[in-house]
């Protein structure tokens, strides 16, 4: 298990479409482990493989609270089968877009089909936070980010702001 560096905007890889997995082998299992430790280390509730630079359709989520037992779910080749009509709104952040939160409306309920880390086909009905989290992560697999919900002007502004922060990584106050 290795904690990986999380890729942030404006890295072009985040816009790419990830490829389906044919078989879950040693590499995919290691990738799932790396995704979990990287996500927990960053205090995130979801992470897609592309965010650590690997264009495979794999993502992990865990929406449990700090005082609860972990509820890790790894989803390989996830496909949304149904979206409910009711909507819910969350202020969403993204580990690939530091210090940015955007209110996004998404279907409150979704049904997702995927393969788990053992290669078994699963079907998961998600509601509320889990539903939003999984939709957010599946967007990553298709190269879509939360800033794509904004106007071009606002999007450019956020990317510029983050690029500036990145250029001064050694700034210290003593």
Decide: is 102 part of the binding site for Zn ion (CB under 5 A): no
Q: Is 137 a catalytic residue?
A: yes
Range in contact with Zn ion (rule: CB under 5 A) among 60-68, 80-88, 89-97, 99-107: 89-97
CB of 145 to Zn ion, least distance (A): 7
Question: Please, which residue, 76 or 94, has the CB nearer to Zn ion?
Answer: 94
For Zn ion, the nearest residue by Cβ is: 94
Sign (positive/negative) of CA torsion 6, 40, 97, 92?
positive
CB of 60 to Zn ion, least distance (A): 12
CB atoms closer than 10 angstroms to residue 146: 21
Decide: is 94 part of the binding site for Zn ion (CB under 5 A): yes
Q: Kindly give the residue spans of alpha helices, DSSP state H, lying in the chain.
A: 26-41, 128-141, 152-167
Residues that bind Zn ion (CB under 5 A): 94
């Amino acid at each position: 298990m290795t904690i990986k560096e999380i890729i942030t905007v404006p890295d072009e890889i985040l816009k790419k479409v990830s490829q389906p997995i044919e078989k879950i082998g040693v590499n995919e299992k290691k990738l799932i482990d790396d995704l979990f430790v990287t996500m927990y280390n960053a205090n995130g509730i979801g992470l897609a493989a592309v965010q650590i630079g690997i264009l495979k359709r794999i993502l992990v989520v865990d929406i449990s609270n700090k005082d609860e037992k972990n509820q890790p779910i790894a989803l390989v080749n996830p496909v949304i089968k149904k979206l409910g009509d009711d909507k819910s709104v969350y202020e969403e952040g993204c580990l690939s877009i530091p210090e940015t939160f955007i209110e996004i409306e998404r279907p409150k309920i979704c049904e997702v089909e995927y393969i788990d880390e053992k290669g078994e086909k699963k079907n998961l009905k998600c509601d509320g936070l889990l539903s939003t989290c999984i939709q957010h992560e599946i967007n990553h697999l298709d190269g879509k980010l939360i800033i794509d919900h904004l106007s071009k002007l606002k999007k450019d502004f956020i990317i510029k702001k983050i690029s500036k922060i990145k250029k001064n990584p050694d700034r210290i106050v003593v």
